């Protein structure tokens, strides 16, 4: 593509993106397509001859856009709502053009050192001590995998050379409400799924420190070596907060690696009133926070902080002759040494640009407003005789369900009613909610987190829920 064509198409794309970011509400949040529709709408083989960009973009609008789930829609309340903010999008544009591969300091000094700067800024905003060195991974799943791999190396350094053969049985601990990526990490590291022990939670879905202590003692008595504990600040289903201080004290006493998963809620440590919820996390060995969740950075960017990054490097660093450079002996940091991945994208650019453009004040204001909207919605649920809230609301996620006044059905029938309600509301295309299960009950989740979500959108979600539960309850009666 020659420069003049690039300019023409590039300007057109910027116009399209600007209109999309400003007007994503004109699309349904969930696409109205069936499995296989996209595949059938496109050729089965690549073209023999190149095609004009106009034709390619026409197919993008005709086939792909109608099949997109619009995470940038202000009515997106499912899972954890996210935002591709404009400065982050522009940074991605630049990063793609610059095409940096920051495996070594030499292969991109700017990308390497900007990662240190941007993560240092974020570390300061979160109130973490400078002893936590940071590195960027793609997702929290990969961050937690590296944390547990480092824990394995710290406890059993011989596994790097000999594997797990001859090692004692090992155990990793997490709450029964921890993210499933912990399960996957244990499986991938060769520990076996049985090596993961889910610790019971209390009535507010927080890991019980006393139950963790009992589990550690029981396993040691049985000849099982405790390897690591994963505590969560902002669990996936309910955003509950494990008692990190008590867990950290146990881990320090037992000599066990503590990893804190704060992927979603970690950014709220920037809010002075929320700092107490993070008490003790500075005692962790490693922490993950996802700026691509609630810091308005386009997906994907996960910030991994570790007080023992030397252990991470010992576990993963492998430098063949063709990657050896003189700068390493002069204090240069090579990102390839901090994980399994050799190639490293210029992800730090978008974090740096978002932090500069929005500013700490703007970020705090947006987080506080999202929390206010969630509390507002929770108040509506609490006041309505046809709904009930099923978990506390420590951040910006509300767990609730419909329970129409006078409903006499079974538990299974109430679950089915709520599943129907969820499908009916999501089918409108105006909002999208997700679900989970708590105490074996089908639970609806509303997660506020998009920059453009306002009280109008939250009120619209509530109105749709009220309208559709009235219709469903009438049909049941």
Partners of 232 in the beta sheet? 261
**pLDDT one-digit tens code per residue, 422-472:** 999 999 999 999 999 999 999 999 999 999 999 999 999 999 999 999 998
How far is residue 437's CA from residue 452's CA, in Å, rounded to a whole number? 29
State the pLDDT at residue 353: 98
Q: Cis ω on the peptide bond leading into residue 300 (within 30° of 0)?
A: yes
C-beta separation of 222 from 168 below 8 A:
no
User: pLDDT tens, 217-238?
Assistant: 999 999 999 999 999 999 999 9
| pLDDT, averaged across the chain | 95
Residue 477's pLDDT band, with cuts at 50, 70 and 90, is low
Report field, pTM of the whole predicted structure over 0.85: yes
| List of residues 6+ apart from 281 with CB closer than 8 A | 128, 233, 244, 248, 260, 262, 269, 287
Location of structure tokens 């499908």: 423
Residue 17: the pLDDT is 95
Among the listed ranges 118-127, 343-352, 465-474, which one has the minimum average pLDDT value?
465-474
Quick one: which H or E segment has residue 445?
strand 441-447
- pLDDT, one tens digit per residue, over 19-59 is 999 988 999 999 999 999 999 999 999 999 999 999 999 99
Return the residue matching tokens 């063949």.
320
The answer to whether 305 touches 119, Cβ cutoff 8 Å, is yes
Closest CA to 120 of 111, 133, 103: 133
Residue 154 pLDDT exceeds 70: yes
Q: What is the DSSP string of 107-164?
A: T-HHHHHHHHHHHHHHHHHHT--TT-EEEEES-HHHHHHHHHHHHHHHH-TTHHHHTT
Tell me which H or E stretch contains 442: strand 441-447
Domains of the chain are: 1-30+69-83+359-477 (3.90.1150.170), 101-345 (3.40.640.10)
| Sign of the four-CA dihedral 471, 473, 475, 477 | negative
């Amino acid at each position: 593509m020659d420069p003049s064509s690039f300019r023409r198409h590039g300007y057109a794309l910027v116009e399209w993106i600007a209109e999309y970011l400003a007007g994503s509400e004109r699309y349904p949040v969930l696409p109205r397509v069936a499995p296989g529709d996209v595949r059938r709408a496109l050729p089965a083989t690549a073209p023999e001859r190149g095609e004009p960009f106009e034709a390619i973009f026409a197919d993008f609008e005709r086939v792909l856009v109608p099949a997109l789930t619009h995470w940038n829609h202000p009515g997106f309340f499912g899972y954890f709502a996210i935002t591709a903010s404009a400065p982050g999008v522009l940074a991605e544009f630049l990063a793609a053009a610059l095409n940096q591969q920051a495996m070594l300091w030499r292969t991109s000094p700017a990308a390497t050192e900007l990662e240190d700067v941007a993560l240092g800024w974020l570390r300061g905003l979160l109130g973490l001590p400078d002893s936590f060195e940071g590195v960027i991974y793609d997702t929290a799943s990969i961050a937690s995998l590296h944390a547990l791999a480092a824990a394995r190396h710290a406890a059993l350094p011989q596994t790097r050379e000999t594997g797990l053969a001859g090692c004692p049985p090992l155990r990793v601990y997490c709450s029964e409400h921890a993210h499933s990526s912990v399960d996957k990490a244990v499986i991938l590291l060769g520990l076996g799924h049985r090596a993961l022990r889910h610790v019971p939670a209390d009535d507010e879905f927080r890991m019980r420190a006393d139950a963790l202590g009992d589990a550690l003692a029981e396993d040691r008595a049985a000849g099982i070596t405790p390897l690591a504990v994963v505590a969560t600040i902002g669990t996936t289903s309910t955003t509950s907060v494990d008692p990190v201080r008590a867990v950290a004290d146990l881990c320090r006493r037992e000599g066990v690696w503590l990893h804190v998963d704060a992927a979603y809620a970690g950014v709220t440590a920037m809010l002075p009133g929320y700092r107490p919820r993070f008490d003790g996390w500075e005692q962790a060995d490693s922490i993950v926070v996802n700026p691509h969740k609630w810091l308005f950075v386009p997906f994907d960017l996960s910030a991994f902080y570790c007080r023992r990054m030397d252990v991470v490097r010992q576990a993963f660093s492998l430098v063949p002759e063709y990657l050896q450079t003189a700068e390493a002996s002069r204090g240069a940091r090579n990102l390839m040494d901090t994980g399994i991945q050799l190639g490293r994208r210029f992800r730090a650019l978008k974090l740096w640009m978002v932090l500069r453009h929005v500013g700490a004040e703007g970020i705090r204001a947006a987080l506080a407003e999202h929390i206010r909207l969630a509390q507002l919605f929770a108040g509506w649920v609490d006041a309505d005789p046809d709904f009930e809230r099923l978990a506390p609301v420590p951040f910006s996620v509300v767990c609730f369900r419909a329970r129409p006044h006078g409903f006499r059905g079974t538990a299974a029938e109430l679950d089915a009613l709520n599943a129907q309600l969820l499908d009916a509301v999501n089918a409108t295309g105006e909002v999208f909610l997700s679900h989970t299960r708590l105490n074996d009950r089908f639970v609806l989740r509303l997660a506020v987190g998009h920059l453009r979500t306002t009280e109008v959108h939250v009120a619209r979600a509530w109105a749709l829920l009220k309208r559709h539960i009235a219709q469903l309850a009438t049909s049941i009666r």
